[in-house]
Amino acid sequence: MKILLVEDDRRASEYLAKGLRELGHAVEQAFDGEAGLKAAANASYDVLVLDRMLPKLDGLEIVTRLRGAGSGVPILILSALDEVDERVQGLRAGGDDYLAKPYHLEELAARLDALARRQGEAGPAGKLRLADLELDARARKVTRAGRKIELTAREFQLLEFLMRHAGQVVTRTMILEGVWDYHFDPKTNVIDVHVSRLRQAIDKGFERQLLHTVRGSGYTLTEDP
């Protein structure tokens, strides 16, 4: 699941992002309301986790603007304000769920899963397809030509990232930032290892190869050789 986390408390944000990534989710972060609204408006996410009180732009204002623009992305609002009126305001603004701080990661993760399932029941927006390869982000399922493909959590994240950029050359830096959330080069072959394993999983035994290495540039997922 691809999640946008908008939380101005950096310590809390890093803790939550780390926990969600360990559960296999792809997490992008924003630390103020303006950055959060921009990210939500310019990219596709399965769920938004949004703090109620944010600098530059209030969390409820973000919800109102996104709904006004026609966005149907599920939104979970986090807040230290646990009064009934506050919860009602959040839900009436267009939020889908409301969780008071402090919270347990297990409960938050379960609520996100419920939101994703609910959205999945409304339509196939969480499905990505290239040729006969299909990835269901909400069910966390990958098939090729109808055959189920087993992937680790990190391989799933990598494939989802590549499918969201299908037909484009994806550099190592893009993968490090988008899949591992590294903003530096770890000087290891971690990407090569995971790409090799992913290629074995999705291409081995099939006539058409989809995952290609672009020498000196990176990788691309495409039907064209």
Averaged pLDDT, 174-183: 78
Q: In terms of domains, do 99 and 161 share one?
A: no
Q: 52: domain CATH number?
A: 3.40.50.2300
Res. 132: pLDDT tops 70: yes
How are beta strands 211-214 and 127-130 bridged, if at all?
A: unpaired
According to DSSP, residue 131 is labeled T
Q: In terms of domains, do 95 and 141 share one?
A: no
Look at the chain and report how many structural domains it folds into: 2
pLDDT in tens, 19-72: 998 888 889 999 999 999 999 888 778 889 999 889 999 888 999 888 888 777
* Distance, CA of 140 to CA of 1 (rounded, Å): 8
Q: Higher pLDDT residue, 147 or 45?
A: 147
For the chain, how many residues are written? Answer: 225
Res. 134: pLDDT tops 60: yes
Q: In terms of domains, do 147 and 117 share one?
A: no
pLDDT of residue 138: 66
Averaged pLDDT, 73-88: 78
Averaged pLDDT, 99-116: 85
Query: Which two three-digit tokens encode residue 181?
Result: 């959330």
End-of-domain residue from the set 105, 122, 139: 122
Contact criterion met (CB below 8 Å) for 74 and 96: yes
pLDDT of residue 117: 67
Q: Higher pLDDT residue, 139 or 154?
A: 154
List, in order, residues 6 or more apart from 18 with CB less than 8 Å away: none
End-of-domain residue from the set 74, 98, 122: 122
Q: In terms of domains, do 154 and 108 share one?
A: no
- Which domain does 134 fall in, by range? 127-221
- Whether the full predicted model's pTM is greater than 0.85, yes or no, is no
Query: Which two three-digit tokens encode residue 31?
Result: 């630390």
